[in-house]
Structure 1
């Protein structure tokens, strides 16, 4: 699947369906969190498809035809004129000890998270270009050579802008990878030896840090024949002192946020996507807009929010700076303290008090 395919094959909204859609029944049916061994090779087969986890049906021919007519896949000239104003603020990674939590935005959904003494990468994409999309409009915010040793990588799903094979090739093959159900085989074929694949509400512990895989309103696809063959989701990273960072991955707005907050109370920081949302009729179920992201931050019970998934790759039709201006306005309208919105530039860092 190319990134172009991601934008032309997402689930579309179904008129009249209830919030939560196809997976609404799982709100009360989800099991309690389970701890799995790091690097476990699971012997029981996964389902052939995870399509029953979708919260909206996949699109039909009429939706595809409408998208083709509207030609609303990228911003026009006016929407691209502010590319030079996108915030790019590379700097050295902060020096922190094992008691601190620090995050650095490398761009898109790629973060360097320092938690519990570990360095964890989220959805690492250090490539200048990914399949089927224009090159990134801001450089990577952290040079690969400047990274400390990577203790773990978490992957939210298999779309090309979140699972980048050339970037993973840079890692030692014994780097622990934490991936959604069904994705371990892809990783092991590339030589990785410590791959832990998890279902929703499962977790694992590494070096005193717990990594819990939680639901998202999204989908998966990497080729023409593997739609929803692997799972998708977000991650809650918790250290021994109870400090928690929630990385949402790629998701639309919906009922899962409230349940994530109930099962993982006291989230200190939510890394939430705010971009790739227009046209709304096409992308609403799988990508939040800025106002929905602020609402999701409240639902999940997070004290602070750091926006992501904007200003790096041009994946949809909204003007490139619009996500930032809208999230700032939505945060102000919510009445929450301005200092709790960590609207970082690419390459910038913030340390949890």
Structure 2
């Protein structure tokens, strides 16, 4: 039976009758996945970080302390971010499980621990989800969060509402690209990303993927989710206004011939940062799961090189430890 996109609108170029698509042509050719897996296995990739996993964790992880009352952002690891704006707490793409996988015994294993336990989180107002891949949408984590914070509002791209409701969520809103919702005085806008979606072999691109812009009177924060580099991303500040804060993904880029369409590398993240006007930014999507061929610490070396080669003033691009925070006090527009 042919799949049917219940949200299909022929006026939107990212809509298809059977799902969704990117605005920029491209993607994997037939046989690319098999070639990548064979090359990866033959080369013994990914390799451990320099000094080993324990040394990497000691250097780049700390327990997150939730304190203060200023606008603040904590990086909790990979794409999980805790944002405090106007006294409200927003959590992005929460994954607290040991694996980014539907299985407890297989799939990418967590190499650094969560920055805190779910029981240590403050009372959440909102959870935002970018797409349904297992390193961004984890059923065990979401079920625990929904049970712990029963009134939390959950914002997702088209196609993920029923998935959340089956876990017990009471307040779920699905948005298309460029749709916005105002919740407790904050504006949430789903924005384009260049990626894809799939949780089973039968649902490829049936659900939408997106980034999120979250706005208060003082801040405009962009959480891209997963995305390859595309000039379409520049339409986000053009349409919504200059960004004051951005979480730029830098990991899962090797080999570039295979990963580039769906994941930015550190050089592209720096290029995008410059094109955006150097907003306060920090790198994410690294340091937790080995999803591609680079080691856990390679994105940092590449990022440092890219910043030193292309930017004179890098004070607004801050690398955080897992669990570390940035205060946004006096950093608004």
8 Å Cα contact 1:123/1:162 also seen in 2:
yes
Q: Distance in 2 between matches of 1:250 and 1:210?
A: 21
CA shift at 1:145, angstroms?
2.1
Unaligned runs of 5+ in 2: 1-10
2:250 pairs with one of 274, 281, 284: 274
- Provide the aligned C-alpha RMSD in A: 2.3
Classify 1:253/1:209 alpha carbon distance in 2 versus 1 (closer, same or farther; 3 Å).
Answer: same
Alignment of 1:51-70 (within 5 A): 51-53=20-22, 55-70=24-39
Q: 1:60 & 1:218 partners in 2: Cα distance?
A: 15
Distance, in Å, in 1 between the alignment partners of 2:72 and 2:183 is: 18
Cα distance in 2 for partners of 1:234, 1:74 equals 33
1:265 corresponds, among 223, 241, 251, to 241
| Contact 2:47–2:295 under 8 Å retained in 1 | no
Q: Compared with structure 1, are the counterparts of its residues 76 and 135 closer, same or farther at alpha carbon in structure 2 (3 Å cutoff)?
A: closer
* Aligned length, in residue pairs: 308
Distance 1:243 1:269, change over 3 A: same
Equivalent pair of 1:74/1:314 in contact (CA under 8 Å): no
CA distance in 2, matches of 1:128, 1:104: 20
**1:183 lines up with 2:154 in the alignment:** no
Give the unaligned 5+ runs of structure 1. 1-24, 31-45
Q: How does 1:67-106 map to 2 (within 5 A)?
A: 67-71=36-40, 75-77=45-47, 81-83=51-53, 84-86=55-57, 87-96=60-69, 100-106=70-76
> Is the contact made by 1:310 and 1:323 (CA closer than 8 Å) also made in structure 2?
yes
Alpha-carbon distance in structure 1 between the residues aligned to 2:33 and 2:111: 27
Residues 117 and 237 of structure 1: is their aligned pair in 2 closer, same or farther, counting only changes over 3 Å? same
Cα distance between partner residues in 2 of 1:102 and 1:80:
31
Q: In structure 1, what is the equivalent of residue 317 of structure 2?
A: 341
Greater alpha carbon shift after TM alignment, 124-133 vs 282-291: 124-133
TM-score by length of 2: 0.86
What CA distance in whole angstroms lies between the structure 2 residues aligned with 1:102 and 1:150?
Answer: 14
| 2: CA distance, partners of 1:243 / 1:342 | 17
Match of 1:236 in 2: 213
Match of 1:201 in 2: 178
